[in-house]
């Protein structure tokens, strides 16, 4: 009786063990466009009309076909209906359990009288990854099934469908939780050897899933509803291999792979090195070859299970991928803790630039071992899907472990291959976009108009964007154009927040709800390209609280687009004068000046080589929602002098009214040129008037000259902003104006450094806030020079940059520079409005 019970319990256990099914926490099966539910292998694909909350936008239509379907498709019942999108649209799925999920998409371009589905070109993406870009079904008689695995980290998955031409469509969708251990964080990197770490946040596209040695395994025989196809057609030399199938129960042990990694059928079958050839040619490899996209990175998972040996430690073999040794003298008995018929899998990372993945098993090089080898299953997953909002930090995300010395090489290789892949994708997209704009457009093109596109595409040969000019870290900031179009509602005119010489600036919202400013380059401006590159170059290197940060850029289809953090309160200039003046208090103005000076100070000293902004002005100082000032617009920036030089010789550029007279005369650029411009900004802040106002009388046109005159006369109070009347403490005003005047010194050598300016501003703020600055700490300034003050206050040295005042310029050059200045000033005044 007791024994019977025991046996019974044992049976129940083993039955549970065999049949316990994986139950996904999240599970959405949708038959798109259908009005009824469809059941396939006990799985109910619900009509998407019953998921009305899932559809976020009504820009879609459900269509169905009465055409004779090719019923040999797997799940052909899912292909009878389709949802068609005539504009960007999305499905949104609430997620209960964050972590890895499968996303499966079914496409079939059936014929329909109203919609030509075979002409659809579109992209499908999640919040974080572009799953399909410029996707088109290969032809009207082939169904396409795509599987992705994505680690979802938010409580909602949104699948975006974006038509490139006229429409997008989808026949069915599956979204369900996968087991957490399906993809582990690390894999063996093959070239160079090392450990690749960071897989768990990656997205993958399944490219091949093979059942070695066996027939096709359909969804109903796989715990995760996967399909495994036979390997025969991929075998390089069919004579080299024999297929094995056994009915031995597979031992899924603790610590070994589970049924969710691969089902029994996969491990019960294998392709094995053939014995037939051993006599004539005792050593050979069994090789499979798979066509893949060129220049991509793949996670290759090989499934092993020793179902051929009669005893332990008899089977030894080598494994190669793309000619690289992946494992040598693999001994499954050891890897499975001395157990036959026990599954084992190994993950490898392979990069490929041939468009092929070659997997081989070959004889071990150990003596007295029978040449043999076995492989039970193989999965090839494409890794580097274009990421959307992780683009900006993707290089950081791919952490490479610390196993071997060549690991750093592996990292850069992977990143650069990823970039190459992106480049290729982009180039493809570029073509598509041109096509799009030449033909019918799905959204009104408000800015360029289709005419100018057509014209530009004609002379486009050879002048497409040159990705070679960006470094890897910069490429990581690249955004697909479609994302920017979406963020700005396709450059909606109502979103324009500024217009400058470079082009228009739009307000935008990214999918993760980050607000951004999108600066779209004017394609007509030739010099724009250079400034565009400079800005990307500078800002991808610089990060500072008081510098506007670059979120990304787009150099696609002749677009020059820069994406910045959104600065809620606009330019400093707009707060001072013009149509939207606000009441900034003196304290606020000082704090803004201090912030801007900190940003400039970082530019001048934060890097190995000083960076000279060259276009410091109130329109380039932006304010965030808390009125924190940030310096922007690095389009003209240049790195400063080398140690053995004291200046950079360069064509004079900058904005009229802010331009350093010394730079103007001698075309020699130093940090002190920025200091001069900053002095002008300080006067703007104080007087709240334009730096150049041609409508005024001659002596008033130029702010710097005018204010200097009043300071000399000791009548500064007469010209300050009336809103500040009686609100500035005299000491604070004196400190401030004195500093501004020093900045405006005729020669750079006489001007303070930005750091000195900063300390003086802080001091002016303190004088304003606290009338009782006492002299015990030496801060009273009676009779003290600026230099002494700064020395006492901050302990910072006054860097007297000794400028070589020698004779390096000729009259004619000065003359030619003067002409240039006029050109610049015209352009820049335009920008100023």
Ligand X SMILES: *[C@@H]1O[C@H](CO)[C@@H](O)[C@H](O)[C@H]1NC(C)=O
CA distance 286 to 359: 8
Give 121 or 540: the residue with its C-beta nearer to ligand X. Answer: 121
- Whether the Cβ atoms of residue 127 and residue 154 lie closer than 8 Å to each other: yes
DSSP lists the bridge partners of residue 611 as 639
By CB under 6 A, tell whether 127 contacts ligand X: no
By CB under 6 A, tell whether 113 contacts ligand X: no
579, with CB counted inside 10 A (0-12, 13-18, 19+), is exposed
User: Which listed residue (92, 134, 195, 221) binds ligand X by CB under 6 A?
Assistant: 221
Tokens of residue 764, six digits: 């002016």
What x/- string results for residues 395 through 424 when contact with ligand X is judged by CB under 6 A? Answer: ------------------------------
Q: Residue 135 CB, nearest distance to ligand X (Å)?
A: 14
User: Which listed residue (96, 97, 220, 609) binds ligand X by CB under 6 A?
Assistant: 220
Segment near ligand X (CB under 6 A); pick from 28-36, 341-349, 457-465, 603-611: 28-36
CA distance 488 to 726: 45
The torsion region of residue 563 among left (phi > 0), alpha (psi -120 to 50) and beta comes to beta
Give 373 or 595: the residue with its C-beta nearer to ligand X. Answer: 373
Segment near ligand X (CB under 6 A); pick from 37-45, 272-280, 635-643, 737-745: 37-45
DSSP lists the bridge partners of residue 62 as 83
Q: Residue 185 CB, nearest distance to ligand X (Å)?
A: 7
- The pair phi, psi for residue 320, each rounded to 5°, is -125, 145
DSSP lists the bridge partners of residue 578 as none
Tokens of residue 162, six digits: 């974006």
Q: Residue 77 CB, nearest distance to ligand X (Å)?
A: 5
Q: Residue 423 CB, nearest distance to ligand X (Å)?
A: 26
User: Which listed residue (217, 262, 560, 764) binds ligand X by CB under 6 A?
Assistant: 217
Q: State the Cα angle at 409 between 403 and 411, rounded to 5°.
A: 80
Give 218 or 416: the residue with its C-beta nearer to ligand X. Answer: 218
Tokens of residue 87, six digits: 């504009």
Segment near ligand X (CB under 6 A); pick from 137-145, 339-347, 591-599, 680-688: 137-145
- Whether the Cβ atoms of residue 133 and residue 425 lie closer than 8 Å to each other: yes
By CB under 6 A, tell whether 34 contacts ligand X: yes
Q: Residue 412 CB, nearest distance to ligand X (Å)?
A: 22
- Whether the Cβ atoms of residue 73 and residue 119 lie closer than 8 Å to each other: no
Q: State the Cα angle at 538 between 535 and 542, rounded to 5°.
A: 130
Q: Residue 22 CB, nearest distance to ligand X (Å)?
A: 14
Segment near ligand X (CB under 6 A); pick from 73-81, 297-305, 436-444, 655-663: 73-81
CA distance 303 to 316: 15
By CB under 6 A, tell whether 71 contacts ligand X: yes
Q: Residue 117 CB, nearest distance to ligand X (Å)?
A: 8
What x/- string results for residues 319 through 348 when contact with ligand X is judged by CB under 6 A? Answer: -x--x-------------------------
Quick one: which of 464, 467, 501, 491 has its CA closest to 563? 491
CA distance 190 to 169: 39
What x/- string results for residues 147 through 176 when contact with ligand X is judged by CB under 6 A? Answer: ----x-x-----------------------
Give 358 or 598: the residue with its C-beta nearer to ligand X. Answer: 358
* DSSP codes joined into one string, 388-426: STTGGGHHHHS-B-SSSTTHHHHHHHHHHHHHHHHHHHH
3-state helix, strand, coil in the chain (%, to 5): 35, 25, 40
User: Which listed residue (155, 180, 709, 823) binds ligand X by CB under 6 A?
Assistant: 180
Segment near ligand X (CB under 6 A); pick from 36-44, 630-638, 734-742, 820-828: 36-44
- For ligand X, the binding residues in 197-216 under the rule CB under 6 A are 200-201, 214-215
By CB under 6 A, tell whether 141 contacts ligand X: yes
Q: Residue 340 CB, nearest distance to ligand X (Å)?
A: 19
User: Which listed residue (55, 61, 77, 745) binds ligand X by CB under 6 A?
Assistant: 77
Distance of CA 773 to the CA centre of its chain: 50
Q: Residue 277 CB, nearest distance to ligand X (Å)?
A: 11
Is 59 annotated in a binding site? The answer is no
The CB density around residue 531, as the number of other CB atoms within 10 Å, is 22
CA distance 775 to 236: 89
By CB under 6 A, tell whether 46 contacts ligand X: yes
- The pair phi, psi for residue 72, each rounded to 5°, is -80, -10
By CB under 6 A, tell whether 35 contacts ligand X: yes
What x/- string results for residues 714 through 743 when contact with ligand X is judged by CB under 6 A? Answer: ------------------------------
Cβ within 8 Å of residue 68, ≥6 positions away:
none
Segment near ligand X (CB under 6 A); pick from 116-124, 466-474, 683-691, 725-733: 116-124
Q: Residue 283 CB, nearest distance to ligand X (Å)?
A: 4
Give 153 or 337: the residue with its C-beta nearer to ligand X. Answer: 153
Q: Give the 3-state secondary structure of 97-108.
A: CCEEEEEEEEEE
Segment near ligand X (CB under 6 A); pick from 69-77, 337-345, 479-487, 737-745: 69-77
- The pair phi, psi for residue 325, each rounded to 5°, is -70, 120
User: Which listed residue (57, 116, 239, 337) binds ligand X by CB under 6 A?
Assistant: 116
By CB under 6 A, tell whether 139 contacts ligand X: yes
- Whether the Cβ atoms of residue 74 and residue 218 lie closer than 8 Å to each other: yes
Give 230 or 654: the residue with its C-beta nearer to ligand X. Answer: 230
By CB under 6 A, tell whether 362 contacts ligand X: yes
Segment near ligand X (CB under 6 A); pick from 136-144, 504-512, 623-631, 680-688: 136-144
By CB under 6 A, tell whether 466 contacts ligand X: no
Quick one: which of 572, 590, 584 has its CA closest to 729? 590
By CB under 6 A, tell whether 360 contacts ligand X: yes
By CB under 6 A, tell whether 499 contacts ligand X: no
CA distance 592 to 585: 11
Give 72 or 608: the residue with its C-beta nearer to ligand X. Answer: 72
- Whether the Cβ atoms of residue 383 and residue 204 lie closer than 8 Å to each other: yes
Quick one: which of 17, 323, 327, 262 has its CA closest to 335? 327
Cβ within 8 Å of residue 436, ≥6 positions away:
164, 165, 442
First to last CA, the chain: 96
DSSP lists the bridge partners of residue 550 as 564
Active site residue 615: yes
- For ligand X, the binding residues in 264-323 under the rule CB under 6 A are 265, 283-285, 320, 323
Active-site residue among 26, 615, 633, 756?
A: 615
Q: Residue 775 CB, nearest distance to ligand X (Å)?
A: 57
CA distance 210 to 205: 15
User: Which listed residue (20, 142, 237, 248) binds ligand X by CB under 6 A?
Assistant: 142
User: Which listed residue (80, 197, 478, 488) binds ligand X by CB under 6 A?
Assistant: 80
Q: Residue 228 CB, nearest distance to ligand X (Å)?
A: 9
Cβ within 8 Å of residue 178, ≥6 positions away:
24, 99, 100, 101, 102, 149, 224, 260
CA distance 471 to 611: 19
- Whether the Cβ atoms of residue 86 and residue 76 lie closer than 8 Å to each other: no
Q: Which residues bind ligand X (CB under 6 A)?
A: 34-38, 44, 46, 50, 64, 69, 71, 77, 80-81, 99-100, 116, 118-119, 138-139, 141-142, 151, 153, 180, 183, 200-201, 214-215, 217-218, 220-221, 245, 265, 283-285, 320, 323, 360, 362-363
Active-site residue set: 615
Binding site listing for ATP: 519
Binding site listing: 519
């Amino acid at each position: 009786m007791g024994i019977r019970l025991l046996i019974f319990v044992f049976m129940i256990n083993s039955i549970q063990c065999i049949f316990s099914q994986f139950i996904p926490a999240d599970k959405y099966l949708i038959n798109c466009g259908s009005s009824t539910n469809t059941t396939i292998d006990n799985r109910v694909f619900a009509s998407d009309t019953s998921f009305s909350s899932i559809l976020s936008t009504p820009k879609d239509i459900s269509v169905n076909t009465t055409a004779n379907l090719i019923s040999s498709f797997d799940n052909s019942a899912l292909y009878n209906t389709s949802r068609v999108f005539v504009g960007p649209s999305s499905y949104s799925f609430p997620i209960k359990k964050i972590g890895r999920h499968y996303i499966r998409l079914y496409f079939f371009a059936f014929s329909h009288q109203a919609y030509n589905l075979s002409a659809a070109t579109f992209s499908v993406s999640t919040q974080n990854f572009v799953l399909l870009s410029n996707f088109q079904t290969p032809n009207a008689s082939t169904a396409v099934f795509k599987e992705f695995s994505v680690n979802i980290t938010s409580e909602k998955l949104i699948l975006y469908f974006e038509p490139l031409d006229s429409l997008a469509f989808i026949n069915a969708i599956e979204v369900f939780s996968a087991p957490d251990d399906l993809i582990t964080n690390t894999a063996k990197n093959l070239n160079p050897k090392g450990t690749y770490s960071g897989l768990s946040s990656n997205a993958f596209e399944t490219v091949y899933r093979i059942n070695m040695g066996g027939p096709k395994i359909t969804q109903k025989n796989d715990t995760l509803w996967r399909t495994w196809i036979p390997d025969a057609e991929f075998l390089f030399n069919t004579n080299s291999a024999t297929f094995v199938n056994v009915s031995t129960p597979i031992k899924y042990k603790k610590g070994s792979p589970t049924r969710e990694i691969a089902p029994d059928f996969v491990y019960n079958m294998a392709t094995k090195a053939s014995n037939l050839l051993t006599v004539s040619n005792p050593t050979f490899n069994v090789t499979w070859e798979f066509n893949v996209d060129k220049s991509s990175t793949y996670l290759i998972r090989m499934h092993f299970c020793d179902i051929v040996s009669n005893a332990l430690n008899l089977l030894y073999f080598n494994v190669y991928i793309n000619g690289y040794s992946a494992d040598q003298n693999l001994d499954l008995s050891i890897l499975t803790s001395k157990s036959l018929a026990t599954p084992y899998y190994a993950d490898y990372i392979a990069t490929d630039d041939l468009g092929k993945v070659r997997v081989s098993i070959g004889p071990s090089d150990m003596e007295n071992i029978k040449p043999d080898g076995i492989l039970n299953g193989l999965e090839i997953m494409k890794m580097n899907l274009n990421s959307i909002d992780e683009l900006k930090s993707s290089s950081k995300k791919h952490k490479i472990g610390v196993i071997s010395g060549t690991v750093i090489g592996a990292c850069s290789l992977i990143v650069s291959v990823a970039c190459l892949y992106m480049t290729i994708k982009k180039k493809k997209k570029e073509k598509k976009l041109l096509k799009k704009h030449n033909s019918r457009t799905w959204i009104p093109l408000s800015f360029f108009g289709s005419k100018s596109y057509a014209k530009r595409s004609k002379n486009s040969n050879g002048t497409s964007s040159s990705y070679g000019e960006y470094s890897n870290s910069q490429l990581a900031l690249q955004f697909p154009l479609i994302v920017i179009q979406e963020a700005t509602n396709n450059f909606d005119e109502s979103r324009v927040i500024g217009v400058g010489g470079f082009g228009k600036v739009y307000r935008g919202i990214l999918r993760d709800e980050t607000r951004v400013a999108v600066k779209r380059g004017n394609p007509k401006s030739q010099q724009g390209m250079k400034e565009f590159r400079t800005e990307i170059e500078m800002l991808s290197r610089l990060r500072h609280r008081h510098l506007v940060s670059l979120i990304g850029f787009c150099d696609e289809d002749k677009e020059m687009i820069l994406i910045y953090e959104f600065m809620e309160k606009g330019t400093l200039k707009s707060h001072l004068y013009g149509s939207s003046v606000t009441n900034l208090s003196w304290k606020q103005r000082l704090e803004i000046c201090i912030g801007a000076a900190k940003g400039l100070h970082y530019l001048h000293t934060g890097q190995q080589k000083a960076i000279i902004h060259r276009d410091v002005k109130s329109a380039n100082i932006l304010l965030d929602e808390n009125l924190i000032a940030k310096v922007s617009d690095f389009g003209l920036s240049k790195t400063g002098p080398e140690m053995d030089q004291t200046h950079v010789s360069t064509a004079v550029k900058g904005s009229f009214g802010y331009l350093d007279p010394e730079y103007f005369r001698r075309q020699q650029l130093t940090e002190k040129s920025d200091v001069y411009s900053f002095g002008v900004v300080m006067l703007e802040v104080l007087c709240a008037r334009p730096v150049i106002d041609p409508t005024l009388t001659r002596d008033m046109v130029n702010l710097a000259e005018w204010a200097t005159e009043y300071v000399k006369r000791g009548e500064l109070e007469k010209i300050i902003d009336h809103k500040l009347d009686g609100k500035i403490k005299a000491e604070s005003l004196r400190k401030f104006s004195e500093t501004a005047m020093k900045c405006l010194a005729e020669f750079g050598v006489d001007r303070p450094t930005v750091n000195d300016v900063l300390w003086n501003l802080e001091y002016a703020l303190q004088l304003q806030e606290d009338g009782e600055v006492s002299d015990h700490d030496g801060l009273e300034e009676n009779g003290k020079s600026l230099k002494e003050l700064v020395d006492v206050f901050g302990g910072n040295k006054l860097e007297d940059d000794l400028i070589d005042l020698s004779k390096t310029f000729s009259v004619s050059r000065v003359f030619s520079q003067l002409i240039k200045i006029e050109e610049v000033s015209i352009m820049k005044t335009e920008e100023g409005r």
